[in-house]
Amino acid sequence: MKRASQISLLSFFLTIVSCSSFLNGQNQNKTISKENIKKANRLIPQVVQSTTIRNEAHPLSGKINRFLKNQDNLNDFKLTGLKRNDYLEIIEKQVRAMLKYQNSKGRIIDPVEKVEKYYTTPCFAHSVAVLAFSGKLKKTDPLFESGVKALTESLNDMVNNRVNGNHGDFYTWPVMLAYENFKPFVNKEVLNSWNTSLKSIDISKLYAFYNKEKAMNWILVHASGEFLRAKNKFTSHEYVERMLGFQLSNFTNSGMYNEGGNPLSYDLFARHYLAGVLQLGYKGKHAEVLQDNLWRGAWTSMFLQSPFGELPAGYRSSHHIWNEAEQCVLFEIYASAYSDLGKKEEAGAFKRAAMLSLNSIKQWIREDGSGYIVKNRFPIENKHGYERYSVHTCYNMLATSMLAQAWQFSNDEINELPAPSDIGGFVIPILKPFHKIFANANGTYLEYETNGDQKYNPTGIIRSHIKGGHPQLGPSNGIAPLFSGENTYMATGPLWENSDGTWSSLAELKMDPSNVEILEENTHSVEFKITYDIAPEKSQSITEIISIKDHKIIVETEFKGFEGKKRISWPMLINDGKNKVKSQISDRFVELVLQEKNIRFSVIQPQKINLISSDHLIKHVNGMFKGVFAEFSGNKVIYTLE
């Protein structure tokens, strides 16, 4: 349901927070003061600050309340061991790796593309500025001056309308954050130069999507930057108010932001900027509507997060490490807000979600300190699994700019407590507009694509994350044409033989299920049923009953109206670009091992099956894959992943 207008939840509490409160982090929570409550009220509607969230407050209210009730019942909970300064450790390694790519003017030149790309340079400036503000970077370190130079050059480009790749919409936010962080450390001459530039920007020429009304994350990005310019008195709030007003109808009832293609990475991309805007003191006419949407979305995102900290897969830009970095920002903001209210359980859950996200990023750091921007380990020159716009320098610096925000919003006094991804006990269908189902029991998780876009995602089970396993072995995404080639589709799911001897699969179909039904939800076991009417005129249908229990995914698939042979496909990772996956194939199961973590695909019934391992290598965002097919003649099959 679109929410162009909403009932105001609060009307008295929003106040501008000073720049210093942001820069010094949200770590003064020893007592619940009026100031703490004011800060929390910017983000959490007062009507949901009670112990129990009412049904009308959030579509997931029952699941949220049940999670909080069960939060202290997890026996095998293990802390990540990560703290606020771990953000700085990754940022410093990254920017020092980028330093060798900086030219004499201050621009970061990508080593693969051989030119500056997009908004790399302003994000580099922001990342260095946070290191300086934190005290980790001294003014005498050459890296400090490199960051100052990068900010100066970025501002020159903004004023002279020569921003890289027409991506001016993405400059202002990191530029303003860099400005605020560097401000105490630079001399008056430099500061006056920056002030003059920030007053002189012509946004009608700078922004590619200036004054547009369409659903597009770029608009919210540049509007957020304009908020910071207005906050620092370089412009008025008028444009910000107009742009925010255009975008409110793009939020769903669960607080998610939707644009073309229903991309999950850009849902959170838009929201993490807006959450920062609220945290930094926006109190305009849209504040209460944004507060309600963003609070809803924060809880939704925490429930959709993988137990390995990963953002769900969904359309473009999935599997980039900045996906998890934007989670860090959002989750740290809400951890601090709940802590300000003295609500330790909620604060601890959001802190845990942030640390799981950070831990995921740590798995993808290269030897030189930079990141693999996409979750595979191929050389950056291969651009394996890259979007046409993916760039090594740009997307690493985008990630560190996000981590810099997470650091500044972070509060080390908040202790990690179990998050929804640790405990599970839920099935969450988000069918419109995102066509997904998420299920989790006791930290074993799956993502089901109910109507694949057939460019990035096929229809069927696209992600299986088994507790104690390796996330990329699950697999962590399905196979579709963009990365894998024309007419190449595979999910974990059913195929059937046609009368002419060819094969069709659910994965390749673009159709909505006729029925989705939740059968069971508790922390130890969840189960749901999904049915597709493949060809109603032939009475052909496929029903899958999917359950998770005892750290095992169990799928029972029934075919009706099909006469030929049947198969179940499972996409099997062969290598991730650096590490070869060990495999064992028997007559009833396949077991894979990567980095001492394993997964096993087993067919329980029927007894008579033919397990086929394809020799055809398939390119996939996470590496190179092959298909495994369990072939049988009956109408029902049961298989497991564990």
Q: Determine the pLDDT at residue 50.
A: 80
d(CA 466, CA 442): 10
**What is the Cα–Cα distance from 288 to 294, expressed in whole angstroms?**
10
Q: What is the pTM of this model?
A: 0.94
Instruction: Point out the residues of the chain with pLDDT beneath 70.
Output: 1-31
- Give the whole-angstrom CA distance, residue 352 versus residue 354: 5
Q: What is the DSSP string of 297-350?
A: HHHHHHHHS-TTSPPPP-STTTTBHHHHHHHHHHHHHHHHHHHHTT-HHHHHHH
pLDDT at 32: 78
Q: Omega before 433 cis (within 30°)? A: yes
CATH 2.70.98.70 in the chain is located at: 429-641
Q: According to the model, what pLDDT value does residue 36 have?
A: 87
Please provide the DSSP assignment of 400-451 as one string.
HHHHHHHHHH--TTSPP---HHHHEEEEEEE-TTT-EEEEEETTEEEEEESS
Report how far residue 371's alpha carbon sits from residue 363's, in angstroms, rounded to the nearest whole number.
Answer: 9
**What integer pLDDT is reported at residue 282 of this predicted model?**
97
SS3 category, 601: strand
Tell me where in the chain the CATH 1.50.10.10 domain(s) lie: 83-418
Contact 243, 214 (CB under 8 A): no
The predicted structure's pLDDT at residue 31: 63
The two structure tokens encoding residue 429: 């269908």
**Contact between residue 88 and residue 134 where contact means Cβ atoms under 8 Å apart:** yes
CATH architecture label of 83-418 = Alpha/alpha barrel (1.50)
Q: Which residues contact 9 (CB under 8 A, 6 or more apart)?
A: 45, 46, 47, 288, 291, 292
Q: CATH classification of 429-641, choosing from 2.70.98.70, 3.40.50.12660, 2.170.8.10, 3.30.559.10?
A: 2.70.98.70
Return the amino acid letter for 553: I
Distance CA 280, CA 14 (A): 10
